[in-house]
């Protein structure tokens, strides 16, 4: 039997010797109230050739109406009652360990329905809860021989086994009773799984009386096969070759009906005992169309936008291989159900749409083999409701200070309008427009997409919108673009936004900066500066464009003075000056007077103060030219060259004309007698 649990949606399957195919039997049971039930437990029993067995038993009558409300409608179901149950002592186990145990069950007043759970507990005194319980074994039927079930420890910790005896009212007559047998010997080891393929139905004739079954295990150990229906089929001894176990199944001549083969493998080495795997097939007198033994159902949520899927259920091939499976989905109004085919819905799954609201769906599963086809209908779904929208998310998660953000979403379903609200923070929301507060402040919003005819309303998770600092809204401009060499320039700017301070840097050129003061090291246009307005809470840093600052040349800062103001006639004078600024050369000119100039050499042409000169210091990159005041250069008279009397002899009685040589200049030569016997008159010496 296989199907999908109505409460959890989890698929299940189990082997049974009862065919639960008719009416209420094809549905899950409902827990009933006891009318007169007795419960008992016995230890150290010998059951089915085993000793030391624990027996749990029940017997009595239930109170039940054989009906329940399912998907909004009353349907016929039969009741079950459970008890007694037993917990093992708590034990510690390690993740990945495999546990195996054996159990059996037999019906009494009616069929058995039993469970075994592995329960995670907090400590040695705890008994866990439904949320910490895992189903290890389940069975329902008339008789179940010794069966091995296994489970894996999911994590290190404390555990208990829980075994629950129960009875199912297969007949609907309210008299129940069953027994569950538990072998208290539990094996611990590595997981050991049996792979045993399903068996096909077989036609029981002379040419088809034996066939081979095979199985493998995780431990590569021997698998033993047994028949619980030896009146119809028997199994020979197993052989093991290359990890594959095989045995011969022999069919009893003239028999028809269900034949059940179980596969078991004992513990070996580090491996625990493997869980029993049971396969059933039907002996037929002749091939038939495929047969269904129940479990055909629909899984999935009955809501718009959801996928519902057919669960084929348990099928036998009728002795002829199944060659095809087809599906036809149907629907009906829940209020007045008349089933009709859904056009084009022929896959194993369908997606429910808005036209399915208020309706139920089911699927017809058809299996075909060489003989014919068999169709069965699944149990019906619940009433299709509006669907839940796919997850709605706010997709606009970053804003910039000072800029309105248009809020957007992704996901959601249907045509409903989307609205937004501010959950918290400094921002505000109007329609789909978000006005952010200060950068870095908190802003949390949520979106709601309204429901429509097909979908329920959906609300997003609370979503944080990050508020980033903005670029400064006005350009930063350097406004101090000219100055005069030799004078510090106070740098200024305009524009920029926010409270950030303005700082300055020299990009290139002949200037230096300190704070907001620019000092040129040369005139001209070689100085390039940049202003930077720093960031603040709401605005990012901004740089100005690189800006050229031009410095004009200035007057020389000290007075140019001629310092060579006197000389001696007849000797060239080297002209000198003091003062003036910069690298310009000094040149000279004669303004007037008895002198000439060549370069920086002044040559007088007469003594006295008649020579006036002027110095000029030429301009350079930083300074204009400067001219000294007109300056008088005075030349003193010079000593003449030696004057020598050349008339040094004469004849007494004759006047001597006195002569001389030497002397300089235009002065007249005059004579005088210093001593001696002579007189002079003019230049005549007597």
Q: Do 130 and 174 sit in the same domain of this protein?
A: yes
Separation of alpha carbons 370 and 392, rounded Å: 51
* Segment 1-43, tens digit of pLDDT: 666 665 566 666 677 777 776 678 877 788 889 989 999 999 9
Instruction: Look at 117-121, 521-525, 532-536 and tell me which has the smallest mean pLDDT.
Output: 521-525
Q: Do 464 and 492 sit in the same domain of this protein?
A: no
Structure-token pair, residue 515: 């704070």
Mean pLDDT of all residues in 563-586: 92
In the chain, % of residues over pLDDT 90? 76
The per-residue b/e assignment along 388-406, b for 16 or more CB within 10 angstroms, e otherwise, is bbeebebebeebbbbeebe
SS3 assignment for 284-320: ECCCCCCEECCCCEEECCCECCCEEEEECCCEECCCC
Residue 188: predicted pLDDT: 81
Q: Do 343 and 489 sit in the same domain of this protein?
A: no
Query: Is the CB of residue 387 less than 8 Å from the CB of residue 358?
Result: no
Asked if residue 388 belongs to a domain, the reply is no
* Segment 626-635, tens digit of pLDDT: 999 999 999 8
Range among 76-85, 185-194, 606-615 with highest mean pLDDT value: 76-85
Q: Do 181 and 237 sit in the same domain of this protein?
A: no
Last residue within a domain, chosen from 468, 498, 521: 468
Q: Do 249 and 224 sit in the same domain of this protein?
A: yes
* Segment 385-423, tens digit of pLDDT: 999 999 999 999 999 999 999 999 999 999 999 999 999
Q: Do 71 and 176 sit in the same domain of this protein?
A: yes
Instruction: Say whether 131 sits in a helix, a strand or coil.
Output: helix
Q: Do 227 and 315 sit in the same domain of this protein?
A: no
Separation of alpha carbons 209 and 203, rounded Å: 9
Q: Do 419 and 460 sit in the same domain of this protein?
A: yes
Domain range enclosing 326: 291-377
* Segment 233-268, tens digit of pLDDT: 999 999 999 999 999 999 999 999 989 999 999 988
Residues in a beta bridge with 639: none
Asked if residue 69 belongs to a domain, the reply is yes
For residues 124 and 7, which has the higher predicted lDDT (pLDDT)? Answer: 124
Cβ-based neighbour number of residue 64 at 10 Å = 23
Is residue 546 scored above 80 in pLDDT? yes
Residue 26: predicted pLDDT: 73
Q: Do 134 and 83 sit in the same domain of this protein?
A: yes
Residue 41: predicted pLDDT: 96
Long-range contact set of residues 377-382: C-beta below 8 Å, sequence gap at least 24:
377/296, 377/330, 378/296, 378/297, 378/298, 378/310, 378/311, 378/313, 379/26, 379/27, 379/296, 379/297, 379/298, 380/71, 380/298, 381/71, 381/298, 381/300, 381/302, 381/308, 382/71, 382/72, 382/302
Mean pLDDT of all residues in 567-576: 91
pTM value surpassing 0.75: no
Q: Do 81 and 181 sit in the same domain of this protein?
A: yes
Separation of alpha carbons 476 and 182, rounded Å: 88
Q: Which phi and psi (to 5°) does residue 355 adopt?
A: -70, -15
Helix (H) or strand (E) holding 239, with range, is strand 239-241
* Segment 163-183, tens digit of pLDDT: 999 999 998 899 999 999 999
Asked if residue 240 belongs to a domain, the reply is yes
The CATH number covering residue 341 comes to 2.60.40.2700
Separation of alpha carbons 269 and 227, rounded Å: 27
Q: Do 47 and 117 sit in the same domain of this protein?
A: yes
Q: Do 129 and 35 sit in the same domain of this protein?
A: yes
Asked if residue 409 belongs to a domain, the reply is yes
Q: How far is CA 554 from CA 120, 551, 581, in A?
A: 96, 9, 10
Pairing of strands 210-217, 194-195: antiparallel
| Number of independent structural domains in the chain | 7
Asked if residue 668 belongs to a domain, the reply is no
Q: HSE on the CB side for 280, CA within 13 Å?
A: 21
Cβ-based neighbour number of residue 207 at 10 Å = 5
């Amino acid at each position: 039997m296989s199907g999908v649990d109505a409460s959890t949606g989890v698929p299940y399957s189990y082997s049974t010797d009862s065919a639960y195919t008719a009416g209420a039997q094809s549905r899950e049971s409902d827990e009933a109230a006891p009318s007169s039930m007795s419960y008992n437990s016995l230890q150290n029993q010998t059951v089915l050739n085993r000793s030391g067995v624990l027996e749990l038993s029940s017997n009595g009558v239930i109170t039940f109406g054989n009906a329940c409300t399912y998907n909004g409608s009353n349907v016929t179901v039969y009741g079950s009652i459970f008890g007694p149950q037993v917990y093992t002592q708590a034990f510690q186990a390690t993740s990945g360990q495999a546990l195996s145990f054996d159990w059996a069950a037999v019906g009494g007043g009616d069929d058995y329905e039993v469970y075994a759970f592995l329960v995670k507990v907090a400590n040695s005194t705890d008994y866990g809860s439904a949320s910490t319980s895992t189903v290890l074994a389940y069975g329902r039927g008339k008789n179940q021989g010794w069966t091995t079930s296994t489970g894996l420890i999911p994590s290190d910790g404390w555990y208990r086994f829980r075994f629950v005896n129960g009875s199912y009212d297969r007949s609907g007559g309210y008299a129940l009773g069953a027994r569950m047998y538990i072998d208290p010997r539990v094996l611990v080891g590595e997981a050991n799984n049996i792979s045993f393929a399903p068996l096909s139905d077989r036609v029981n004739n002379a040419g088809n009386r034996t066939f081979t079954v095979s199985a493998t295990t995780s431990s590569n150990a021997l698998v033993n096969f047994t028949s619980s229906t030896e009146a119809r089929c028997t199994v020979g001894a197993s052989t093991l070759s290359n990890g594959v176990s095989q045995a011969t199944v022999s069919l009893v001549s003239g028999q028809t009906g269900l034949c059940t083969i179980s596969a078991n493998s004992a513990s070996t080495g580090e491996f625990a005992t493997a869980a029993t795997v049971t396969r059933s097939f039907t002996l037929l007198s002749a091939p038939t169309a495929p047969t269904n033994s129940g479990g055909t159902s629909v899984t999935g949520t009955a809501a718009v936008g959801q996928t519902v899927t057919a669960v084929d259920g348990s099928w036998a091939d009728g002795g002829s291989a199944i060659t095809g499976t087809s599906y036809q989905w149907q629907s009906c109004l829940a209020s007045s159900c008349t089933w009709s085919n859904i056009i084009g819905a022929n896959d194993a799954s369908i997606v429910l749409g808005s036209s399915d609201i208020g309706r139920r769906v089911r699927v017809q599963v058809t299996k075909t083999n060489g003989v014919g086809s068999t169709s069965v209908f699944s149990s019906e779904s619940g009433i299709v409701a509006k669907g839940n929208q796919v997850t709605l998310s706010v997709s606009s998660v970053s804003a910039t200070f000072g800029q309105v953000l248009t809020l957007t979403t992704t996901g959601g379903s249907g045509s409903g309008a989307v609205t937004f609200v501010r959950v918290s923070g400094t921002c505000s929301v109007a329609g789909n427009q978000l006005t952010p507060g200060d950068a870095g402040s908190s802003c949390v919003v949520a979106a709601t997409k309204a429901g429509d005819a097909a979908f329920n309303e959906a609300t997003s998770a609370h979503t944080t919108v990050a508020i980033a600092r903005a670029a400064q809204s006005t350009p930063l401009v350097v406004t101090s673009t000219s100055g005069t060499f030799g004078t510090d320039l106070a740098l200024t700017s305009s524009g920029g936004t926010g409270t950030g301070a303005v700082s300055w840097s020299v990009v290139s050129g002949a200037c230096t900066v300190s704070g907001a003061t620019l000092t040129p090291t040369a005139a001209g246009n070689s100085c390039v500066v940049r202003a930077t307005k720093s960031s603040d809470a709401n605005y990012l840093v901004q740089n100005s464009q690189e800006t050229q600052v031009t410095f004009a040349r200035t007057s020389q800062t000290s007075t140019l003075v001629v310092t060579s103001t006197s000389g001696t006639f007849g000797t060239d004078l080297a002209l000198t000056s003091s003062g003036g600024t910069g690298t310009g050369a000094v040149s000279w000119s004669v303004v007037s007077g008895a002198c000439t100039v060549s370069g920086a050499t002044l040559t007088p042409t007469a003594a006295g103060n008649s020579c006036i000169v002027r110095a000029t210091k030429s301009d350079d990159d930083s300074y204009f030219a400067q001219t000294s005041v007109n300056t008088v250069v005075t030349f003193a008279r010079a000593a003449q060259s030696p004057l020598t009397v050349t008339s040094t002899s004469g004849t007494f009685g004759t006047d001597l004309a006195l002569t001389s040589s030497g002397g300089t200049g235009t002065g007249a030569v005059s004579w005088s007698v210093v001593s001696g016997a002579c007189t002079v008159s003019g230049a005549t010496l007597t």
